[in-house]
A and B are shown apart, each in its own frame.
Chain A
Amino acid sequence: VISLDSLDRCCHGIVPGVIATCDADGIPNASYVSQLHVIDRTHVALSCQFFNKTRQNLDVNPLASVEIYDPLTFEAYVLRLRFLRSETEGPLFDTMSTRIVAIASHTGMAGVFKLRSADVFLVLDVEARAGFIDPAVEGERVALALPDGPLTELRGLQLVSERVSRAADLESLLSGALAALDEVFGFTHGMIMMPEEEGRLVAVASHGYGDAAIGAEVRIGEGLIGTVAETKRLVRIACVSSELRYGRAIREQYEQNRTALTAEIPLPQLAEAESQMAIPLLVQDRLVGVLVLECRHSLTFAQWHEAFLQVLANQIASGIDRMADREDLDTETKLSFLYYRNDDCVFVDGEYLIRNVPGKILWKVLRAYQTEGRTEFSNRELRLDPSLGLPPIKDNLESRLILLRKRLEQKCPAVKLVSTRRGRFTLAVNCGLELIERDTA
Chain B
Amino acid sequence: MKLDKELVAASSAPLILSLLVEGDSYGYAIIQRVRELSGGKIQWTDGMLYPVLHWLEENDQIRGRWEKAESGRRRRYYSILPKGKKALDDQREQWSLVNATLTKIWRPQYA
Q: Please determine whether chains A and B interact with each other in the same assembly.
A: no
Interface on B for A, CB 8 Å cutoff? none
